[in-house]
Structure 1
Amino acid sequence: MTAPLISLTWTDHVTGRQGFLVVDRLVRGVASGGLRMREGCTLDEVTGLARGMTMKEALHFDAEDPTVRYVPLGGAKGGIDCDPRDPGAYGVLVRFLRATRPYIEHFWTTGEDLGLTQDLVDSAAVEAGLVSTVQAIHPLLDDEEEARRRLADAFAVEVDGIGLDELVGGCGVAESVLAALDRAGTAYAGTRVSVQGLGTMGGATARFLSRAGLKIVAVADVRGTITHPDGLDVEALLAARDAYGTVDRSALRPEDREAPGDAWLSVDAEVLVPAAVSYAIDAGNQARITARWIVEAANMPVLAEAEELLARRGITVLPDVVVNSGTNAWWWWTLFGDIGPDADEAFAHTRRAMRGLIGRMLERADADGTTPRAAAHAIVADRLPVIALRYGRYR
């Protein structure tokens, strides 16, 4: 496996906390990838995530449509080993952004990821002296001022109390689920879903799936799992969560039940959506899963050994590099002007793109006799040389 272009470890001089930046590849001189903050984050984790970002960018590359303005970037990722609830976390974030400022100014475009919100990242970026966390891409824009205004307007859009920037990723995950159900001839009504994590991605996914007619029978947060076999009141749970996706239990209905934190794995459901931490499903706990599909809203939630064992049991894993790629793509569709700052347009574009990606991946998996993840990797392997030939690997 090719080593990343750049890999660095930063140590905070105040707290001793460590942060990491990995640039897997540059395309047109720029790489894209969010910044996460969690206790226990490692360089290996960030390296894997950066490689995944290279794949997500390649999967959204359309070499045939000359009208598309967004063309792929390289892949990168940042991570900070710190609990985002720690009172000193914001200071660590500001100092990390200040230390990595030259990279952000010139070739690393970043934004919110696990443990952080975009508002928090933007506030810290201003304190760190940055114009924007995506300023490295500004030289590639036809009209920087108009593009920045368009993105700002898009971030100001809310739908039923939730920001468009939070919703587009969940829209993409939900559409991945629906595409898989359609391909299998499975009706939406009555299909049960268990979601781990009710933060940005998990919450939006639960909303879209619920509104499509599926039953969200379990959601898990740091306090445990909330279940109901006939379906939870998703909107009430979303309204009762805090900034970290933890649900206020006083909002539960009398018929809702609380269970241990890992109960989401074994709930009777056709679909599991891990939408929280990496490495959530391993070789041991995968044996508890009876769902037909696992749809990776989080980054790297299923370990490789677990996925192999799941495949032997006929359980399909739809991989993160496809499923949760909608958020990243939406940023660039909007900034480059393929779509405007409009929710309906964003959702329609996201649904079309995700339908196409899921369809190509599953067709390739069937043709090659492989897993969806292997098929996605094969598609990327076909596209990266084309991207390198057209745009170069480092420039």
Structure 2
Amino acid sequence: MSSLLEITWTDPVTSRKGYVVIDTLVRGLASGGLRLRDGCTLDEVRGLAQGMTRKESLVYDPADRYLPLGGGKGGIDIDPGDPEAPEVLRRFLAAVRPIVKEQWNTGEDFGLRQETLDKVAADLGLASTVEAVFAILPDADAARQRLAEAFAVNVDGLCLADLVGGYGVAQACLVTAERMGLDHERVTAVVQGFGSIGGAVARYLAAAGVRVIAVADRDGLIRNDAGLDVELLLGARDGLGVIDRAVLRPGDRTGPREAWLDVPCDLLVPAAMSYVITEADTSRITARVVVEGANMPTLPEAEAALVTRGIPVVPDFLANVMTNAWWWWIVFGDIEPTAASSYSKIDSTMRRLVEAVSVEADRTGRTLRACALQLARRNAEAVTERAGVTG
């Protein structure tokens, strides 16, 4: 299926490319983040936008005030650490400002922090990066207040908004492990990426009793088969999710970044970049299950090879759906702007989704991805019927 809108922008100063893809619209609106990544392509952003369409529809609950939006995504081909990145981002957002103001509700994604995005948006005269959705709400001021209050909530020194996505992935891991008959206290996990998603995944898995034995950041692998001190590592990471090796304990070992695939474990959680598990990598993986915390981390042929070996893959648009859903639950007023209300809604929704998809996979012998896609399509039809008008 072709996208509704695809924009390719060329920066007049650096010649860097930026992209916006609107895959679908519901009530004239789409939702999806903006990423900064050296090597980002239109094909990548197109795939991410399609994933957002699936995330939006998958999480639909007719009891919610939140009526899912369409799917969109943005990306800029630049390393977030490049000194030119802030000004390239500013020029890109200035160029696509009409889309942001009218249709595309966006937020942070890989390589971009929400506070950075908010500052640039404010400089361009936008009150937020989700202005388009406020136009359809009966009380936009109350929605803005709820969102501001939610972003002001801190949990153990970290912003709630930075935790909900990884918390959701951790819950997907835990429910999947339960269904596989695995005791949390005996489960081991490896997490690739230690930013807002990966760090929160590791935190909440460890809190549930899972032994996190390895994490990988941009500087390499940190491994301890007896279990890492996740809180120690969280306190020693920088804004890009890189851990200061000076805090490592005597039993912690380091290794090359790509070695995360070789560590034997029960739960393998890619939670950083796209396209990190190729077909050639699959023979190195001995995990019981792969849970996709990142967007599109596993190439299709790699997933097919893993499934053939009896290693299921919990797809990204199911496992990491909660960052996006949480924003809209807050905005539409389905939850209070508190950690307790947020975690309760994530717990119940993730359990409902994982169990529904898993039961269907067990019944039909189809993959988790195929069953999740079926549920997303069914929900999309219900959303279309309820919305009345779609773009």
> In which range does the TM-score fall when normalised by the shorter chain?
over 0.9
Q: What CA distance in whole angstroms lies between the structure 1 residues aligned with 2:389 and 2:316?
A: 24
**2:165 pairs with one of 155, 161, 169:** 169
**1:273 pairs with one of 263, 269, 279:** 269
Aligned position for 1:355:
351
**1:309 pairs with one of 291, 305, 327:** 305
Q: What CA distance in whole angstroms lies between the structure 1 residues aligned with 2:194 and 2:350?
A: 21
**1:292 pairs with one of 261, 284, 288:** 288
Q: What CA distance in whole angstroms lies between the structure 1 residues aligned with 2:390 and 2:67?
A: 15
Give the secondary-structure state (helix, strand or coil) at the position aligned to 2:279: coil
Superposed displacement of residue 388, structure 1: 2.2
Say if 2:1 is the partner of 1:8. no
Say if 2:90 is the partner of 1:94. yes
- Is this contact kept in 2: 1:25–1:393, CA < 8 A? no
Q: What CA distance in whole angstroms lies between the structure 1 residues aligned with 2:255 and 2:36?
A: 27
Aligned length: 391
- Is this contact kept in 1: 2:289–2:313, CA < 8 A? yes
Q: What CA distance in whole angstroms lies between the structure 2 residues aligned with 1:275 and 1:184?
A: 21
**1:140 pairs with one of 136, 140, 143:** 136
Deviations 1:261-283 (A, max 9, x none): 11111112111000010000001
**Greater shift after overlay, 136-145 or 271-280?**
136-145
- Is this contact kept in 1: 2:67–2:383, CA < 8 A? no
Aligned position for 1:365:
361
- Is this contact kept in 2: 1:26–1:393, CA < 8 A? no
Superposed displacement of residue 363, structure 1: 1.1
Q: What CA distance in whole angstroms lies between the structure 2 residues aligned with 1:148 and 1:18?
A: 32
**1:78 pairs with one of 71, 74, 79:** 74
- What is the Cα-based RMSD across aligned positions, in Å? 0.9
Q: Is the alpha carbon distance of 1:392 and 1:79 closer, same or farther for their aligned partners in structure 2, counting shifts above 3 Å?
A: farther
Aligned position for 2:122:
126
Q: What CA distance in whole angstroms lies between the structure 2 residues aligned with 1:266 and 1:26?
A: 41
**1:339 pairs with one of 319, 328, 335:** 335
Say if 2:325 is the partner of 1:325. no
Aligned position for 1:157:
153
Q: What CA distance in whole angstroms lies between the structure 1 residues aligned with 2:31 and 2:91?
A: 20
After superposition, residues 101-250 of structure 1 pair within 5 angstroms as: 101-250=97-246
Say if 2:17 is the partner of 1:18. yes
Q: What CA distance in whole angstroms lies between the structure 2 residues aligned with 1:42 and 1:109?
A: 20
Amino acid at match of 2:214: A
Superposed displacement of residue 85, structure 1: 0.2
Superposed displacement of residue 393, structure 1: 5.8
Deviations 1:215-234 (A, max 9, x none): 11000011110000010010
Aligned position for 1:40:
39
Give the secondary-structure state (helix, strand or coil) at the position aligned to 1:100: helix
What percentage of residue pairs aligned between the two structures are identical? 51
Aligned position for 1:58:
57
Q: What CA distance in whole angstroms lies between the structure 2 residues aligned with 1:38 and 1:78?
A: 11
Superposed displacement of residue 368, structure 1: 2.1
Aligned position for 2:256:
260
Give the secondary-structure state (helix, strand or coil) at the position aligned to 1:305: helix
**Structure 1: 5+ residue stretches without partners:** none
Amino acid at match of 1:321: F
Amino acid at match of 2:39: G
Give the secondary-structure state (helix, strand or coil) at the position aligned to 2:203: helix
Q: Is the alpha carbon distance of 1:52 and 1:392 closer, same or farther for their aligned partners in structure 2, counting shifts above 3 Å?
A: farther
Q: What CA distance in whole angstroms lies between the structure 1 residues aligned with 2:137 and 2:209?
A: 40
Q: What CA distance in whole angstroms lies between the structure 1 residues aligned with 2:150 and 2:336?
A: 8
Deviations 1:284-311 (A, max 9, x none): 0111000011000000000000001001
Superposed displacement of residue 392, structure 1: 4.6
Give the secondary-structure state (helix, strand or coil) at the position aligned to 2:257: coil
Q: What CA distance in whole angstroms lies between the structure 1 residues aligned with 2:139 and 2:325?
A: 19
Superposed displacement of residue 385, structure 1: 2.3
Superposed displacement of residue 154, structure 1: 0.4
Amino acid at match of 1:34: G
- Is this contact kept in 1: 2:213–2:228, CA < 8 A? yes
TM-score, scaled to structure 2:
0.98
**Structure 2: 5+ residue stretches without partners:** none
Q: What CA distance in whole angstroms lies between the structure 1 residues aligned with 2:386 and 2:335?
A: 24
Amino acid at match of 1:146: A
Amino acid at match of 2:112: L
TM-score, scaled to structure 1:
0.97
Superposed displacement of residue 145, structure 1: 0.8
Amino acid at match of 1:181: A
